Structure 1
Amino acid sequence: MSTAVSLSYSECSARERLAGLLDPGSFHEWLPPAERVMSPHLAQLGVPCAFDDGVAIGRAMLDGHAVFVAAQEGAFMGGGVGEVHGAKLVGLLQRALRERPQAVLLLAESGGVRLHEANAGLIAVSEVMRAVLDVRAAGIPVVVLIGGANGCFGGMGIVARCADRIVMSDVGRLAMSGPEVIEASHGVDEFDSRDRALVWRTTGGKHRWLTGDCDALVEDDVAAFRAAAIAALGPSRPVTLSQLEAEHAMLAARLQLLDAPLDGDEAVALWSRLGVPDAARIVDLDVGEVRVRRPLRGAP
């Protein structure tokens, strides 16, 4: 069953993405806004709350397959993770262990942990990470979709890299520390968060695809994300010692490329060292042209 609708994924709300991504009418939400399960901390701080605490979770069908799904709402506190937000994600993943859907989809859009609930948020993210790995160990694939305007940073950036597969659009962003955090910590000379071209060259979907940090690069289109999510419904990738050793070897080889200083545009210089053809043209190429230029697993 298809919902071939051309919509910008980055411009959609969390529930609009769910409506376009999933089989029509199949999403059954758990703890919807009517239940008013909200953060107990924000009101005490005089901060506006959301009735769903910024994340929608539930079960649905994707191309006729049963899936569990969570979608973070970037318009509420940048998709930040607090106690309730994180607990909903953990509950979804733990329920997946019992009911064994075909896959768990996480539509990630988050700046990381809410500063208003720092300790509770950090604990929540750690519990989400453990739950993701538990689900993978049970043979259920976890697929993260990244294409929202807020990107996927902080704790959720780590969660994404714990998943089986990552799907990104060319406008999506993925990293541990966000541009503003880096600038605040190390100064504008280290990283200018207002330089949008720089931000996307170092955290954007094209860069993550070329370095092997995401498994599918798609257009900023809901239908493209749906097709990629369907394609990702294969078996879970086991977390084994050999798999981790291969990942470490790839990262060590990438690190060796940085032994010599990167001249000029650092992102372009790194792509060149990775063996990407016509690296200087990457920023101007469309998604289809970039997809055929990735070296194997980002290795030299």
Structure 2
Amino acid sequence: MDKLNFAAIDIGSNAVRLMIKGIAHGETIENLTKVFMVRVPLRLGQDAFTLGRISNDKTGKLLRLVKAFRQLMQIYNVQSYRACATSAMRDAENGKEVTKYIVEKTGVEIEIVNGQEEARIVYDSHIVDELNRVGDYIYVDVGGGSTEISLISNRALKSSASYNIGTVRILNNKVDKVELLRMYNDLKLLSEVYPKLSVIGSGGNINKLFRISEFPKGRPLTTVKLREELDMLSAIPVKERIRKFDLKPDRADVIVPAAELYLQIAHHVKATEIWVPTIGIVDGITYSLCEQYLAEHPNWDK
């Protein structure tokens, strides 16, 4: 076997992703690189957060999508995979029923993971190694249905919490004010114990905001610049955002509430910059799958 490929499927509230990463024979896990990636804006959260369930229409589309992913994994000769569904499936009253149906029809096993597991998966991608720094951080992943916040102190994951606050929920006015206050209170407590917290941002929205900023890679996005971007994006209609900043339609609407949320989080921990290493749940999944395989086959790279 000359190459090992590993796949991650992320069934999110805004989009569904397939990421395939691989290493060649003789390489180590540090050489794990992207082979293929596709993102489809299914927006399951639109159903889950407004109807309380995943509709038959969205279930059918998800089924066809997972079937396509299965074919792609076969084409790329994937060694192992992991498929995770997050906030929308957690909230939908028929979430377990939908995932069971998809599994029966495709043979692709799907896990509905909680927010803490989401955070742990991303930590498994060695996000701190990307920054190559010690100190105290909060890792923030703003998704369509939830926001995961994890405390990383001196390169170790200390705690994590999940809040039902996400961009698709915000657009549909489905965020509970009590939940928002809970998050802000938790952040205030963290900042009191760890007064010099930095923020690590993860997810498609903060990645796009970083790209729009034109800041060089390896430099943090300042909250001053992020506020400028928020004001600029808020002032123009969605169609103009798509044209001017080359955004996908399903990104152009959620990017504004995402920017506001990142700014609020940074404000509550008194941070003035956000590090954006462009790592997410699919990176964590593929990294851990590769790590597990290499541990079980220690002579593979010899």
Question: Normalized against structure 1, the TM-score is what?
Answer: 0.30
More strand by share: 2
Structure with greater contact order relative to length (CA < 8 Å, sep ≥ 6): 2
- What is the TM-score with the length of structure 2 in the denominator? 0.30
